[in-house]
Chains A and B, each alone.
Chain A
């Protein structure tokens, strides 16, 4: 119809011009139309394809993705047997929108005060009259209370479920597990150290398995708490560790904290004495000095003799003993009676550089090697590390380490001399045992067994003996540094024990901070009187759980040491 018809009349020239323009215009229009149609067809095609795709492979609107098992909002933390230590559950929360309340506010306030007596009637009424938009009345409410509040029937009340972190074992292993803030982010312990894994959607379905055994943890906590209360100590710490893998089976710091109510704890209670606190642990260091001397060849046998006078004058200082020998004594006797004078001479023979190198190899000079973020750093004499400091470090003064480090050192010494870094994660397929690092020779490790068993059989650690479990160990009583001076009356007592000594499997370290003397201790505050019974009691409870068979007839090879002990009493 737009095609030009044959002209009957000669067209006027302007008209001819017009026809040419129209043609051009028409062509352009055709092009545009075609383009528009293509675009339209393309869009339709895309939509159709998308529809077909969705019909074939897509999900319908109500589909939830991959919901075949319940995945909590935050990963669980379980102990090595799979018992839950921390869980996130949906807890009921009761809140109120004061501006949406339509009922009688006074009656509502009265009813709320009856149900939740933490606030008074007036306070509830003031709250309802205020212009706040939202206010939590109770988090983690019990179902009974929720039902009662729901029965009020007030639309301004908001009752909802919120994920809430719950620690079923309450204060058990609280310093290891840690706790979360109100938004569910870890702020202490493993909750903090593994916050990313616990919160990430990819990993939170799998619980975080700790190396802690809750039964052993409970036994250790209970015994330590009893001792702490009995001796009126201001604090206590304890560690149980697997010698062969470096797994921490129990670790506690007292006073305890309830992770369900972390806000109620004092800063003192939140402080982790086992990893954060560093203490001069005293004589528990002496076995390391002897082992170093044996490994470097300065001690050939436990019969090697040293002069042990009543007091030792060295480098312008005087070294004292609690039970001075006043005679020549052997290495075995030095360890049995925990002689500072003897150990100081052994350390002096060893020399500063070798001592430093060894302590470094054992991890006693740096930060505590553990997953927790709350960890301290060992204090050493540093630049002042001279010959006298070498002596004092030899008997455990002038160097401050965390109780966990001490346990780690004993584990190294009795694991055939091989160091494994301590870990709070269960060693298994998901967390393989890292290769160890040799620190002491195997022979030294073997011979030290008899020496430490001697301390418990005949020496200062008699009260730590759990019959049948072949406990070996060393007591440590360190004077506490108060205002720059060592106090004569205020101590930190510790005991580092290993059992069974004929085939060492577990290390236990217990520490009491400022224990007081009681009638039963005859006024003594030394470790042999207050911490050693804790170790004995704990081992008596935990050894059967750990599969250590008691045997009254087995002992380590005591012929290494017994000939060198001078018996006076018997």
Chain B
């Protein structure tokens, strides 16, 4: 496989990666989700835990009429909504849909008087018991008109026309948000827009790899149409030249060790006595007073001491080098 063929294959691979990255970028999920739900009720209840889903979430409630948004304690809203048809947002069913639960108002009973006068004012002599009941019972009786949307349980109330939008972080923590249609119409929909973390780092990496490999392929493709043989031959000559250096096929460089060897120069050789001294001491290598050449380390052939005692190496004696460290005498002699 030539370099050009490899480049062309890399180019095809790069195009594939580029396509994958571009398609992934095109169809990857948005960094912001807006799960929504149809409401079809006059009251939407958003508990504090849902409001705490994301500090950057934005709640939008849309209706055809005027809307009033209240904040209140969760237990108060629970008691208030018992007598009303309401939809409670419980969280996210998916990134596209909100989980909602509908609470229907109690059905009117036969004993409920249809002629009951709508009144929100308590009697002048209330029969309220001082013994608090163990559970909050809805005071609104079926068939009677419920209290108007202004209620003392609301911490705060704001009114909007048609669409109510609020940053959930603006709602005091721990309070429930209630959005109520005050015009007699139902609320149409509710949605929570919130950011989400998309793990799309790989797309960028794939994209850059695709770009790089495509460029390589492009260069290889261009090379198909350009005669690169002269440059190639020059390159091959240079390569052959480089590979020939040191192979022995060329003359050695003047002054090099090889040149000296071929010229017949010999190194100074220390004279080693043929026989060990009678005392059995290690022979001392005598070096010239002012050697013109560096004294090579001469290997000393092991000898068997003549006496029964191993020779003691004096402190001044040097340790003979190993034969692998230097050129062998045979080489020097050659």
A binds B: no
